[in-house]
């Protein structure tokens, strides 16, 4: 497949413009977790699917929920509906989602746990997800970009080793300290499999990629280097070799002062910033690194709504004016977000000229 040059694709899909070097006003916008339980139509499709993972593995229904926020709000980008835990699930570490409690996995505790993973088992699940990507590319409006994604190896490993979400990622951090060779082997498997997964998403029609490292902020700086920066750098360089122009966004949530270092060292094209990053620091990050910056409205402010929401949106837009910037939240939309507040936000961002 001969890829269309980025500059040409960006002429049709404004989300891609900042990656082609252009600062836009109003900036392109989309929201993390823009498809989800805050939308009644999502809850309906989710009920039809029967379970969250069945929804992820049903191309027709997964494409439908991806399109729902695009129909309502006309965002500049859609994001494939799936989950970062598809990767361990496809590798043979079965994932279950317990209602109201989040994901559950049989934890990998040592080297013998690693031997249960099968790198060659991912074919069917990855191709099912990629069928969603190709359906979407034909069903989306031509002007809407499609973002493919995966979890970063570190964040995915925290679930694989801990067996569930946690506030401190202690199980994975401890394995990384006590058994670094075993942990490195797990990370290598995740790097290989994630590159394979993202490559298939690009082949199926993804316009850009985002790597979610939601727990990057729990690591000491030397560990951040080894488990966040190094594996991401390998992933970016391998993807870049195959797809020189595909924009890649990193989301090292909580990386704070290490964000510029992350941006330079990994070679990502853009960095997504969490809410705690000062807007002045987001502007500096853009200026110092020359990368695209995305973020970072507080998702809770989108629940609150009102004039506080408007004022903060204006502050962020003003700070990022003239820079290669994509409007987004600092983390995913919360379940109890009123859909009308999202409409208010979109209107406010689009007003900016």
Rounded least distance, CB 210 to ligand CP3, Å? 7
Rounded least distance, CB 151 to ligand CP3, Å? 6
Beta strands per DSSP E along the chain: 77-79, 95-98, 102-105, 145-151, 208-213, 248-252, 270-272, 292-297, 325-329
Rounded least distance, CB 95 to ligand CP3, Å? 9
The whole-angstrom separation of Cα 305 and Cα 177 is 43
Active-site option among 9, 14, 46, 323: 46
Nearer to ligand CP3, 27 or 36 (CB): 36
**Has 33 been annotated as catalytic?**
yes
Query: What six digits make up the tokens of 194?
Result: 């994630």
Rounded least distance, CB 7 to ligand CP3, Å? 27
**Has 71 been annotated as catalytic?**
no
Nearer to ligand CP3, 16 or 152 (CB): 152
Rounded least distance, CB 349 to ligand CP3, Å? 18
Active-site option among 42, 126, 159, 197: 159
**Has 73 been annotated as catalytic?**
no
Beta bridge partners of 150: 211
Nearest residue to ligand CP3, using CB? 214
3-state secondary structure of 250: strand
DSSP symbols for 14-36: GGGGGGGT---SSPPB--TT-SS
Helices (H) and strands (E) in the chain, counts: 17, 9
Residue 283 parent element (H or E):
helix 279-289
Q: Any idea how long the chain is?
A: 353
Nearer to ligand CP3, 126 or 149 (CB): 149
**Has 46 been annotated as catalytic?**
yes
What residues contact residue 54 under an 8 Å CB cut-off, 6+ apart? Answer: none
Report helix, strand and coil shares of the chain as percent, to nearest 5.
55, 10, 30
Nearer to ligand CP3, 32 or 146 (CB): 32
Nearer to ligand CP3, 163 or 165 (CB): 165
Interface with ligand CP3 by CB under 6 A: which residues?
32-37, 46, 52, 79, 81, 83-85, 102-103, 149, 151, 165, 212, 214, 332
Active-site option among 13, 38, 57, 83: 83
Active site residues: 33, 37, 46, 83, 159
């Amino acid at each position: 497949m001969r890829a269309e040059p980025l500059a040409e694709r960006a002429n049709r899909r404004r989300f891609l413009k900042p990656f082609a070097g252009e600062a836009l006003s109003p900036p392109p916008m989309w929201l993390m977790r823009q498809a989800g339980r805050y939308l009644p139509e999502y809850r309906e499709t989710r009920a039809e699917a029967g379970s969250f993972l069945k929804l992820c593995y049903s191309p027709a229904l997964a494409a439908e929920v991806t399109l729902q926020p695009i129909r309502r709000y006309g965002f500049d980008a859609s994001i494939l509906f799936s989950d970062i835990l598809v990767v361990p699930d496809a590798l043979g570490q079965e994932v279950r989602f317990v209602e109201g409690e989040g994901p559950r996995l049989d934890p990998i505790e040592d080297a013998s746990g690693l031997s249960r993973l099968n790198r060659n088992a991912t074919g069917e699940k990855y191709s099912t997800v990629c069928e969603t990507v190709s359906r979407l590319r034909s069903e989306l409006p031509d002007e809407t970009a499609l973002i493919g994604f995966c979890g970063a190896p570190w964040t995915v490993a925290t679930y694989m080793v801990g067996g569930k979400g946690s506030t401190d990622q202690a199980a994975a951090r401890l394995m990384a300290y006590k058994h670094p060779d075993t942990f490195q082997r797990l990370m290598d498997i995740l790097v290989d499999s994630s590159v394979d997964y993202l490559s298939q998403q690009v082949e199926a029609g993804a316009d850009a990629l985002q790597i979610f490292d939601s727990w990057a902020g729990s690591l000491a700086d030397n560990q951040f280097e080894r488990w966040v920066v190094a594996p991401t750098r390998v992933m970016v360089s391998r993807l870049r070799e195959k797809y020189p122009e595909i924009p890649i966004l990193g989301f090292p949530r909580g990386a704070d002062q290490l964000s510029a270092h992350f941006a330079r060292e990994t070679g990502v094209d853009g960095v997504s910033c969490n809410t705690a990053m000062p807007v002045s620091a987001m502007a500096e990050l853009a200026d110092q690194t020359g990368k695209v910056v995305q973020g970072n409205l507080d998702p809770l402010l989108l629940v609150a709504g009102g004039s506080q929401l408007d004022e903060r949106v204006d502050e962020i837009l003003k700070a990022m004016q003239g820079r290669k910037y994509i409007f987004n939240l600092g983390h995913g939309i919360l379940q109890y977000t009123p859909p009308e507040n999202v409409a208010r936000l979109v209107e406010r961002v689009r007003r900016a000229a």
